[in-house]
Amino acid sequence: MIARRILLKLSGEALQGGKNTVAIDAPTVDRIASELALLNQMGVQIGVVIGAGNFFRGTTLSALGIDRVTADQMGMVSTVVNALALRDALEKDGVTTTIMSAIPMSGIVDHYDRRRAIHHLEENRMLIFAGGTGNPLVTTDSAASLRSIEIQADILLKATNVDGIYSEDPQKNPKAKFYSHLTYQEALQKELGVLDLTAFCQCRDNNMPIRVFNIHKPDALRRIMAGEPEGTLVDAK
């Protein structure tokens, strides 16, 4: 394994498995959990930051007339719903899993504590970080960059619906150029939107490498951890 500890950013849409008719597709969640369980069995320490785009996006709700802060709070609560679904799937695979939320929800999930989080990881327990950063106007990308730095992860893996970073949206332009490697500066200059700007600058300033890959591609996580070419790597080199 090329990394001892990883932070996986998993969007809410990833749990839909490409199906827009359901918020959470159980077979998709089970498949993702099985791949994470395999890495856990290999000794990789895993933290997951989960989004809520399968339920709500603050910007979309705000456009409908809901107060932006309220809309973001609805999204943060929805990440806990997704975390509970993923935890259940992981525990069915025999992986001890703890959810830590930036928003206190006593009796449902634990409150986020950095030192306890690192202790759980060192005990080879899976961690799911919910509730974003606990603040409105901040995306779960920023939560992912923040948590990856706080838990001293070796790499931030961003799961997407495409094979990595392209010059344009490959679903709109099949001739878009694929990048297997970029520096932080190149990604900024090309305005490629690897993460939101705040999250990306956090990673750059703390030298946190980012690997963008297709979560729906079978065995992609294992291939990444085995050092095989998969997706796009963004780092300082």
pLDDT tens-digit series, residues 165-213? 999 988 889 899 999 999 999 999 998 988 999 999 999 999 999 999 9
**Closest of 196, 207, 111, 100 to residue 152, by C-alpha:** 207
What's the whole-number average pLDDT of the chain? 93
Report the alpha-carbon distance of residue 232 to residue 164 in Å, rounded.
5
Q: Which pLDDT tens digit goes with each residue over 217-232?
A: 989 999 999 999 899 9
Supply 1's token pair: 């394994």
Collapsed DSSP state (helix, strand, coil) of residue 213: strand
| pLDDT at residue 183, as a whole number | 96
**Closest of 11, 15, 68, 9 to residue 199, by C-alpha:** 9
Report the alpha-carbon distance of residue 24 to residue 37 in Å, rounded.
19
CB of 103 within 8 A of CB of 76? yes
| pLDDT at residue 3, as a whole number | 94
Under CATH, to which class is 5-235 assigned?
A: alpha beta
Supply 111's token pair: 């409150």
What is the amino acid identity at position 184?
Y
Q: Which residues of the chain have pLDDT under 50?
A: none
pTM of the complete model: 0.94
Residue 159 DSSP symbol: E
Is residue 179 exposed (0-12), middle (13-18) or buried (19+ Cβ within 10 Å)?
Answer: buried
Which H or E run includes 209? Answer: none
| pLDDT at residue 11, as a whole number | 93
